[in-house]
């Protein structure tokens, strides 16, 4: 018997894996991944699945005005702020089975395991599915955990539009998940998010658990480049104002900014739309996105300055113009040291190899850290591949992460609110 967290209690690894595979069928792609963009019919389907499973586990489910779903397992004193677990069930267009999903379903599994063992916690426990973590359909990412934490207003979120002009707020109502509870009204005692690492470090070092100390800073930009549509056959090369050629130079400049601040910096153009996108028209307008990241905010700021200068240079002496908008700034986050220690102690007590790690990816925990003591637990994924249908995690690693989650949650309940009766 260890004194940390769960004692001999373990989650049911087979049941957790079966749940992951069940949800993987909702939006399954031919290549073995998932396409389940936020606020689509498939998102509604997986939400319905989740709500039904939580109710089966005896939880009361509430939905807030941003569609965040919280399932609560009562504790001894239900006036205490709950200790929450969770992540997201939305995916990228070519997403994998694990990104986000394991954080939600391991939370559910923790609640189920506590039910099986008849354990009563001091505080209620909750598992939360946050709306639109990915930011793929509606930018920015982590939108609804951001509203929960006060980083954005609800109206800002409702007004986000996808690339077809559909509004977040309308789509939330359409799928039937705009709830009554004011987003952010629910106070959390602590928040833990289990996630795949989405990078190569844990696998390379053969460690099972990443004790996540923080999340790197990230900024998103939108650029619209304007030239002139013209006939591809009859417009001589020297008379062209080709927005796509200018964009190609800009994309190379983005890469150069990333390389100039390597190895810790990354810089990406992930979304691009050329207009009118007809094979015999010189593109007159291009829209594209830029994603810059680095663990230090000062470096992210320096990257932005370099980028602006480099983009200006690409169009110097041409008739091409462009607009450049920073649409999101998510500063670097440092997680709560007591929660981090709890994860470290749980990994050690359970005998898992571990290391401290900073997250390269954004996560809902990054915003929740503003309003509650928060940390994350990482488990390895094969070759660090993520945001890819081939994303793969080992059942044993996912189970290990869920066991650490269970132990850290119980440890935190005891730390914040006193020892349990059993
Ligand atoms: C979220 O998945 C991000 O890191 O962009
Ligand atoms: Mn994720
Ligand atoms: Mn993701």
pLDDT over 60 at 3, yes or no: no
Between CA 358 and CA 272, with CA 389 as vertex, the angle to 5 degrees is 80
Which of 122, 171, 384 is closest to 266 using CA atoms? 384
Instruction: Say how far residue 381 (Cα) sits from the centre of its chain.
Output: 15
Nearest-angstrom CA–CA distance, 336 and 374: 6
pLDDT over 80 at 421, yes or no: no
Mutate to test the pocket of ligand 1, among 135, 137, 295 (most ligand atoms within 8 A of CB): 135
Q: What is the mean pLDDT of residues 226-230?
A: 98
Cα(185) to ligand 3 centroid in Å equals: 26
Question: Strand 190-196 relative to strand 83-87: parallel, antiparallel, unpaired?
Answer: parallel
Cα(266) to ligand 3 centroid in Å equals: 16
Q: What is the mean pLDDT of residues 298-315?
A: 98
Q: What is the mean pLDDT of residues 348-377?
A: 98
Q: Is 362 in the pocket of ligand 1 (CB under 6 A)?
A: yes
Sign of CA dihedral 339, 89, 10, 399: negative
pLDDT over 90 at 279, yes or no: yes
Residue 340 is encoded by which pair of tokens?
A: 């981090």
Name 178's Cβ contacts closer than 8 Å, sequence gap at least 6: 63, 65, 67, 169, 172
pLDDT over 80 at 417, yes or no: yes
The reported pLDDT for the residue numbered 2 is 38
Closest ligand (CA of 96): 3
CATH 3.30.70.360 for the 217-330 domain, yes or no: yes
The reported pLDDT for the residue numbered 6 is 74
Cα(174) to ligand 3 centroid in Å equals: 24
Which of 378, 199, 207 is closest to 293 using CA atoms? 199
Domain boundaries, the chain: 13-216+332-417, 217-330
Q: What is the CA radius of gyration of the chain?
A: 23
The reported pLDDT for the residue numbered 12 is 98
- Whether 13-216+332-417 and 217-330 share one fold: the answer is no
Structurally, what CATH architecture does the domain formed by 13-216+332-417 represent?
A: 3-Layer(aba) Sandwich (3.40)
Residue percentage of the chain with pLDDT more than 90? 97
Name 248's Cβ contacts closer than 8 Å, sequence gap at least 6: none
pLDDT over 60 at 277, yes or no: yes
Q: Is 126 in the pocket of ligand 1 (CB under 6 A)?
A: no
Atom 2, ligand 1: residue with shortest CA distance: 134
Mutate to test the pocket of ligand 1, among 199, 362, 365, 367 (most ligand atoms within 8 A of CB): 362
Name 5's Cβ contacts closer than 8 Å, sequence gap at least 6: 342, 345, 346, 349, 406, 407, 408, 409, 410, 411
Mutate to test the pocket of ligand 1, among 102, 363, 384 (most ligand atoms within 8 A of CB): 363
3-class state of residue 371 by DSSP: coil
Indicate the pLDDT class of residue 4, thresholds 50, 70 and 90: low
pLDDT over 50 at 180, yes or no: yes
Residue percentage of the chain with pLDDT more than 70? 98
The reported pLDDT for the residue numbered 419 is 86
pLDDT over 70 at 422, yes or no: no
Residue 81 is encoded by which pair of tokens?
A: 């702020």
Q: What is the mean pLDDT of residues 394-416?
A: 98
H/E run at residue 345: helix 337-350
Q: Is 141 in the pocket of ligand 1 (CB under 6 A)?
A: yes
Q: What is the mean pLDDT of residues 164-182?
A: 98
Question: Crossing angle, helix 395-417 and helix 101-117, to 10 degrees?
Answer: 60
Cα(311) to ligand 2 centroid in Å equals: 30
Q: Is 143 in the pocket of ligand 1 (CB under 6 A)?
A: no
Atom 1, ligand 1: residue with shortest CA distance: 362
């Amino acid at each position: 018997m260890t004194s940390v967290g769960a004692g001999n209690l373990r989650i049911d690894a087979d049941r957790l894996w079966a749940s992951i595979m069940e949800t993987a069928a909702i939006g399954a792609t031919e290549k073995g991944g998932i396409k389940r963009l936020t606020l689509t019919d498939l998102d509604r389907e997986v939400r319905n699945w989740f709500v039904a499973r939580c109710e089966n586990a005896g939880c009361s489910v509430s939905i807030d005005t941003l569609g965040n779903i919280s399932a609560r397992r009562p504790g001894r004193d239900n006036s205490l702020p709950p200790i929450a677990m969770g992540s997201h069930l939305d995916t990228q267009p070519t997403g994998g089975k694990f990104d986000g999903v394991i954080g939600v379903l391991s939370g559910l599994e923790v609640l189920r395991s506590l039910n099986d063992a008849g354990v009563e916690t001091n505080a209620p426990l909750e598992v939360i599915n946050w709306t639109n973590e990915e930011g793929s359909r509606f930018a920015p990412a982590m939108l609804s955990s951001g509203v929960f934490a006060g980083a954005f207003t609800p109206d800002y979120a409702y007004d986000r539009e996808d690339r077809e002009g559909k509004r977040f707020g309308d789509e939330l109502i359409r799928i039937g998940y705009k709830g009554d509870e004011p987003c952010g009204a629910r106070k959390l005692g602590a928040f833990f998010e289990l996630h795949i690492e989405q990078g190569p470090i844990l696998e390379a070092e053969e460690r099972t658990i990443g004790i996540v100390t923080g999340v790197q800073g990230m900024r998103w930009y939108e650029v619209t480049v304007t030239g002139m549509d013209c006939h591809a056959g009859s417009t001589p090369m020297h008379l062209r104002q080709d927005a796509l050629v200018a964009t190609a130079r800009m994309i190379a400049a983005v890469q150069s900014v990333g390389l100039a601040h390597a190895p810790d910096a990354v810089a990406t153009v992930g979304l691009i739309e050329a207009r009118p996108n007809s094979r015999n028209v010189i593109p007159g307008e291009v829209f594209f996105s830029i994603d810059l990241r680095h663990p230090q905010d000062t470096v992210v700021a320096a990257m932005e300055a370099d980028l602006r200068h480099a983009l200006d240079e690409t169009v110097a002496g041409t008739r091409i113009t462009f607009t450049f908008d920073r649409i999101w700034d998510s500063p670097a986050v440092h997680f709560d040291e007591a929660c981090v220690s709890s994860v470290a102690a749980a990994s050690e007590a359970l005998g898992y190899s571990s290391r401290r790690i900073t997250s390269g990816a954004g996560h809902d925990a990054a915003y929740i850290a503003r309003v509650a003591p928060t940390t994350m637990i990482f488990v390895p994924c094969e070759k660090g591949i993520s945001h890819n249908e081939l994303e793969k995690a080992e059942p044993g690693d996912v189970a290990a992460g869920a066991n650490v989650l269970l132990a850290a949650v119980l440890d935190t309940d005891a730390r914040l609110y006193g020892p349990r009766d059993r």
